[in-house]
Amino acid sequence: MTKTLIRSSILFAAATVLTVSAASAAGPFQFFSVTPCRLADTRDTVGPQFTIGPALQSNVVRNLAVYGANARNCGISTSAKAVALNVTVVTPNNFGYLTAYPYNTSRPVVSTINFNPGEPALANGAIVPLTADSNFQLAIYPFLSGGSGSVHLVLDITGYFQ
């Protein structure tokens, strides 16, 4: 009789966990995956399709278009509220961090990725809100120790929320 009670308790607990997980997954936004798409690469000096200029310099914000006329066509809807990104830093020459945040808003105090000098490549996934601006929707803030140095950036979009 106790084995039946234990099995019933385990099944009840599992059903409760599944119900809570499904309820917490529901939210105001729906996720739309896209084939991974290179939004930006500062190492690319050949093609203008995703060149965003030279390596990032400390304390110089780089603004990016995620959708619209100024953006690479990654299939992101103009009604997107946030994007899922893979943020990769390549060959930083100083300690530092990058922060990705909505264009034309206050920069948050948290970093998206931290790095050390000499790392060949380091990546981190991030979900970043967007602003509904017609020119830019995303800002990237690089900080390098001592205010000097540079780092290359590669941004790949894997989906968006709307």
Secondary structure in 3-state letters for the chain: CHHHHHHHHHHHHHHHHHHHHHHHHCCCCCEEEEEEEEEEECCCCCCCCCCCCCCEECCCCEEECCCCCCCCCCCCCCCCCEEEEEEEEECCCCCEEEEEEECCCCCCCCCCEEECCCCCEEEEEEEEECCCCCCCCEEEEEEEHHHCCEEEEEEEEEEEEC
Q: How confident is the model at residue 89 (pLDDT cuts 50, 70, 90)?
A: very high
121, 120, 98: which is closest to 110 by C-alpha? 98
CATH code: domain 28-161 is: 2.60.120.340
Q: Model pTM greater than 0.85?
A: no
For 21-77, write each residue's pLDDT tens digit. Answer: 333 345 689 999 999 999 999 987 665 555 567 899 999 999 999 998 778 888 999
Q: Two tokens at 68?
A: 């619209």
pLDDT at residue 159 in the model:
97
Judge contact between 31 and 152, C-beta under 8 A.
Answer: no
Q: What is the mean pLDDT of residues 149-162?
A: 94
Q: Which of 12-21, 24-33, 101-110, 136-145 has the lowest mean pLDDT?
A: 12-21
Q: What is the mean pLDDT of residues 119-127?
A: 95
- Pairing state of beta strands 121-129 and 113-115? unpaired
CB count in 10 Å sphere of residue 139 = 19
Domain boundaries, the chain: 28-161
Task: Pick 11 or 130 by higher pLDDT.
Answer: 130
On the question of pLDDT at 13 being above 50, the answer is no
Alpha carbons 95 and 92: distance in angstroms, whole number: 7
Instruction: Report the half-sphere exposure of 98 (CA within 13 A, side-chain side).
Output: 32
Q: What average pLDDT does the structure give for the chain? A: 83
